[in-house]
Amino acid sequence: MAVRSYKAYTPSRRNMSVVDYSALSGDKPHKPLLRPLKRHAGRNNQGRICVRSRGGGNKRKYRLIDFRRNKREGEEAVVISLQYDPNRTAFIMLVEFEDGTKKYYVAPDGVKVGDKVSNGKDARIQVGNTLPLSAIPVGTFVHNIELRPDQGAAMVRSAGTQAQILAREGNKALLRLPSGEMRYVLAVCRATIGRVSNIDQKDVLLGKAGRTNHRGRRPHVRGTVMNPVDHPHGGGEGKSKCAGRPPCSPTGVKAKGFRTRKKSKSKIHLVKDRRSKS
């Protein structure tokens, strides 16, 4: 995959780029694996806006992705299609088992139509196969990692990301995550070998506000241009820096230097925090 840029024949095209989708199959989504996706526009179950600047955007349908990959262990599946998924940055692949069952998996980088993938502790060590961390050699790059056995992949699912197995100690495996954080994960948890597809996604430039609107993100108004009744940064004569208050959200939550992680969160399995400089 590569990033495709445009000639500046209009002002919005000048800084616009898109991912080259030529390697995808171009097939329509598999209907039995589609579900309706309702938009909430930043509102909670009471209908109140909890996240500002959300709404609109293109209509989507959800693709049912099998993140557990714990069925049909030892049985190989053939990749029959590589597809775009509007609900995630990575590409997805449609696989078919010998009995005709079809499933969607997150596509690793390098997998092509016609390749075979399998799941289970006896699967081969090759890109696209899912095994327990105890069965994967130390030093291997993995993605789609479980935090709890049979929970389904919870970490390293975004485009171009990968984690590395650094060591194994007893029933735990030490992983280096894309953020630089080092963490122990139970060795019985599963992971998929390889790197997540669509590596160039991070280099795409939207180029115009309209492409952001298509994603369901509306224009965001700065607090400093509001009135005092609307935002803590509002008011003042001329341009004022937060009106003498520390930077914060409309509800007063501090924006810089204030940690929002709960103290009750366990750090038992954390070896190195992602904020650590050492």
Model confidence over 154-181: pLDDT tens digits? 999 999 999 999 999 889 999 999 998 8
Domain boundaries, the chain: 3-202+267-272
The amino acid that residue 72 corresponds to is R
- How many C-beta neighbours within 10 Å does residue 251 have? 8
Q: How far is CA 39 from CA 17, 58, 180, 212, 215, in A?
A: 27, 10, 34, 16, 11
Architecture of domain 3-202+267-272: Beta Barrel (2.40)
SS3 state of residue 141: strand
pLDDT in tens, 170-211: 899 999 999 988 999 999 999 999 999 999 899 899 989 999
Q: For residue 82, list its beta bridge partners.
A: 93
pLDDT surpasses 70 at 278: no
SS3 state of residue 225: helix
The alpha-carbon radius of gyration of the chain (Å, integer) is: 22
pLDDT in tens, 65-112: 999 988 777 788 899 999 999 999 999 999 998 888 899 999 999 899
Token look-up 């078919």 returns 96
